[in-house]
Chains A and B, each alone.
Chain A
Amino acid sequence: MTHLENVVLCRESQVSTLQALFGERHHFSFPSIFIYGHTASGKTYVTQTLLKTLELPHVFVNCVECFTLRLLLEQILNKLNHLSSSEDGYSTEITCETFNDFVHLFKQVTKAENLKDQTVYIVLDKAECLRDMEANLLPGFLRLQELADRNVTVIFLSEIVWEKFRPNTGCFEPFVLYFPDYSIGNLQKILSHDHPPEYSADFYAAYINILLGVFYTVCRDLKELRHLAVLNFPKYCEPVVKGEASERDTRKLWRNIEPHLKKAMQTVYLREISSSQWEKLQKDDTDLGQLKGLSAHTHVELPYYSKFILIAAYLASYNPARTDKRFFLKHHGKIKKTNFLKKHEKTSNHLLGPKPFPLDRLLAILYSIVDSRVAPTANIFSQITSLVTLQLLTLVGHDDQLDGPKYKCTVSLDFIRAISRTVNFDIIKYLYDFL
């Protein structure tokens, strides 16, 4: 099986377990196998490669694509049909509406010559979607060998553990196989495997080392790391291409690439900017310091009064109503300090989230923080509605309640601080949590 070893890395024990389970072609295998493990741990890849290399008759279906029962069942039957009648390219499409019909049609399709005496494998990827479909589907597939009385094995691939799949009244327990996550050595081996031919393997291995050093504590997903490796490699090779450093000059290469990778973590890793934008920026060699992603607040420009309405909304959401008197009245009289300042860390409003407030309170706070006189015209009210459309405020409660609408402010502290800086308003002074 050397071909298999070259194609599938670091999964020897899982491959040998699966091979032992499959056994010989005409032997019975366990009716259902459940394979779980983290994403990008090779479940789909290993299963597909193994089945293809051993040339076992199999059908591969991704349950995310099949959002109705019919799509799933018809896909399985049609693919099986194609397997069995490979000479003539034309075969009628099978229609199937219920699981009962599926079992009958399955029995018929597997009577074909080249499927008769061997185990047929049905592989269901992203099997967690089966839990949300009809209730009889998952127990039915687990027992398909018994219900159809044929030599068939159903393999489920999922990220979620088996205990969360088990139906309440119990079911036929499948054989559970775990695909362990890759260790850092394994990751290095696999990532170094696809080095471009122009550079030496050691050069690429050093680059992977640096990449893992930055990203390993955050992310162990092989797919993400591969994507980042491919995106950032041209930048790493830049000094060598320009002739400033040789391939062995590890310190200089490291100093060149490290801030770049840190910036990548804040942008490309979070998909704040797209990969093509990132590549373009690398080529243009612009200063990455000013790079801001999608969620940055510099993209939003609001009119003058809207900014104050937003600030007033933020204050209304995050200050308790009883403290308004102290913050917003010119002469608030004596207030007992001890009662006022009693607060738990847990009940800090910035941890619990914004609270809803009525419109009147918003207007009251607005009048007190704006210097000039503001009249309650339709202009102001329409600005409030625009803020709701922009999803900077949300309407809480029923749409039908025309008198006394309640709102909630849904912006973050950084955002509101940036906004209040543009109007020269010190919002921190007015926030109860920062007293």
Chain B
Amino acid sequence: MSSRKSKSNNLIHAECLSQVQRILRERFCHQSPHSNLFGAQVQYKHLSELLKRTAIHGESNSVLIIGPRGSGKTMLINHALKELMEIEEMSENVLQVHLNGLLQINDKIALKEITRQLNLENVVGDKVFGSFAENLSFLLEALKKGDRTSSCPVIFILDEFDLFAHHKNQTLLYNLFDISQSAQTPIAVIGLTCRLYVKIFKEQLSLPAEFPEKLFAEKWNENAQCLSEERSVQEVLQKHFNISKNLRSLHMLLMLSLNRVTASHPFMTAVDLMEASQLCSMDSKANIVHGLSVLEICLIIAMKHLNDLYEEEPFNFQMVYNEFQKFVQRKAHSVYNFEKPVVMKAFEHLQQLELIKPVEKTSGNSQREYQLMKLLLDNTQIMNALQKYPNCPTDVRQWATSSLSWL
């Protein structure tokens, strides 16, 4: 009886969990618009009013939304547009054009995109015909012929706005702002560009009210509440907030912990969050150094000594090989005295991993051994990586701590 009950419990759990995963993944990965705006209410009201004035009263406006990456600009504008479209007269009258600086990298492509989205007469199917000059004059005519009373308002949303400002002569921007200033077709130009934590955490993790399995949803939300009150979890969140204040990094952390939720482990725990936090804050260069061979580690230590002795002046392979020879020749039996080409191959592997970099671009004339290089690791990184290095020979480790130990 009890086994059957637990089996059916497991089944319910699996079903619920699949649903939970779907909802939360959509929230964290797909950035679906959510109801709460986390402190952007004032901006939201302002923006929403501005859009309404363009749509209803035919007023032309331009707005630039600035904020660091992940601060919710796209989310804000999507929310405002969604609300606008819900008003019935708007959805028929207002035209929207969405442009992105990453996709439309020059004015020609941008123009084609605008005509395609506005579905003007020179668009057949999905292709836009005509040259750049023809398209531009066509578009400008279409926009200039109207006035407030008889033509549809158009809202232009330019994402990654700073990239548009890099286009040649900034034709597009100039024309758009020009039209918005003169009394022609009312257009609103909105540019987006980049330049309360524990509560947010709880809110992001909670399941929405429409979740089918009420019992499970309650248990899940209770768990989320408990987690947000635990001290260790609050420490993790504080650390994360100190590194980056945006919502996306929180989503990454929650996504990592969500991965550990399975049928046998149905509720998230503080341990999950702490391990996820550790994964997020790994030093990737230290990981790469961990996988190097002993010879390559010796070369890095030789470079470290050269840097200490000559105060970060660039070095070349010959100097590093010289240092390495000095180490090997003082009765260090654990490291075999390798031939110079073998050491050169190890040196080139370090260059391929971009742990060392040439100071200036290679010219065909100079020999590889004499090309000046820089080391892209600093002393603390090297010493930390050496601590974790598996099976490090003791004399190599001693050599790292002091180059003068042989005197």
Contacts and interface: CB of A to CB of B under 8 A. Distances in A.
A30 B29 contact: yes
Contacts of B291: 37-38, 41, 180-181, 220
Given A28-B25, A99-B103, A147-B102, 9 more contacts: A24-B18, A27-B22, A100-B105, A100-B109, A139-B102, A161-B287, A164-B354, A216-B293, A217-B294
A303 B74 CA distance: 75
Interface of A: 17, 20-21, 23-24, 26-31, 36-38, 41, 98-100, 103-104, 134, 136, 139-140, 143, 145-147, 151, 159-164, 169-173, 175-176, 178, 180-181, 183-184, 216-220, 265-266, 269-270, 272, 295, 346, 350-354, 394, 396, 408, 410, 412
A266 B339 contact: yes
B367 interface: yes
A29 B341 contact: no
B197 to A, nearest CB: 18
Nearest to B354: A160
Q: Which of A36, A172, A178 has the most CB of B within 10 A?
A: A178
Contacts of B163: 136
28 contacts: A20-B260, A24-B18, A28-B25, A30-B29, A37-B287, A37-B291, A38-B291, A98-B109, A99-B105, A103-B103, A136-B103, A146-B74, A161-B287, A162-B284, A164-B354, A180-B287, A180-B291, A217-B294, A220-B291, A220-B293, A265-B342, A266-B342, A270-B342, A270-B345, A272-B341, A351-B318, A352-B316, A353-B370
B105 A136 contact: yes
Contacts of B336: 217
Interface residues on B, range: 35 or more
B82 to A, nearest CB: 14
A100 to B, nearest CB: 4
B255 to A, nearest CB: 6
A435 B313 CA distance: 27
B31 A146 contact: yes
Contacts of A181: 290-291
Interface in B8-37: 18, 21-22, 25-26, 28-31
A176 B18 CA distance: 24
B310 interface: yes
B218 interface: no
Contacts of A352: 316, 318, 370
Given A28-B29, A217-B295, A161 B105 contact: no
B113 interface: yes
B259 A21 contact: yes
B293 A161 contact: no
A390 to B, nearest CB: 14
Contacts of B210: none
